[in-house]
């Protein structure tokens, strides 16, 4: 009987600890979660010239690249995605855009979320989407990230 009571107590404590943790939000370093979406000029292997700086993915290629970020979600509801760009780019900043997408998973169609435009280094911008059906996925694509610039981190609610 004592073993069952002790096991039950541990289980209740574990459930309370998990319930009180901030499971409603996630974050990723950009370098730990990116894929190359596409390239306008294939003069080099972009996976070899995209580098990491304290978690940021930095474009050290000779041309702009499109970066894709998959954001795992746990629930159906409104989502806010906060994106921070790289803090240590070249002296002259070249603007670039990031767009959020909700993919249905049943065809090649998706719902486009908010577009944000980075106009200076170390900027934090947010997009909004609604995931309305279980099984949809949430992604961000940053288009034409210029050489020397990049994406530092992404945060979103579950």
Which CATH number, 2.30.42.10, 3.30.70.890, 2.60.120.260, 3.30.70.120, labels domain 25-157? 2.60.120.260
Chain centroid, CA 78 distance in Å: 16
CA-CA distance, 62 to 147, in Å (whole number)?
A: 6
Provide the mean pLDDT of the chain: 78
What does the pLDDT look like over 93-116, one tens digit per residue?
A: 999 999 998 887 666 778 888 899
Delimit the domains of the chain by residue range. 25-157
Check if the beta carbon of residue 29 is closer than 8 Å to that of residue 153: yes
Q: Where are the alpha helices (DSSP H) in the chain?
A: 2-20, 46-49
146-156 average pLDDT score: 93
Q: How confident is the model at residue 3 (pLDDT cuts 50, 70, 90)?
A: very low
Find, among 56, 46, 68, the residue nearest to 149 by Cα. Answer: 56
């Amino acid at each position: 009987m004592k073993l069952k009571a002790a096991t039950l107590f541990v289980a209740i404590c574990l459930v309370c600890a998990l319930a009180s943790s901030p499971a409603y939000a996630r974050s990723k370093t950009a370098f730990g979660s990116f894929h190359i979406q596409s390239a306008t000029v294939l003069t080099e292997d972009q996976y070899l010239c995209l580098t990491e700086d304290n978690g940021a993915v930095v474009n050290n290629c000779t041309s702009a690249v499109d970066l894709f970020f998959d954001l795992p979600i746990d629930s159906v509801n409104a989502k806010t995605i906060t994106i921070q760009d790289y803090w240590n780019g070249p002296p002259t900043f070249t603007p670039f855009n990031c767009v959020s997408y909700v993919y249905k998973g049943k065809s090649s169609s998706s719902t486009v979320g908010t577009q944000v435009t980075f106009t200076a280094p170390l900027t934090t911008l947010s997009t909004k989407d609604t995931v309305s059906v279980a099984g949809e996925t949430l992604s961000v694509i940053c288009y034409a990230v210029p050489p020397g610039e990049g994406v530092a981190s992404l945060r979103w609610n579950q």
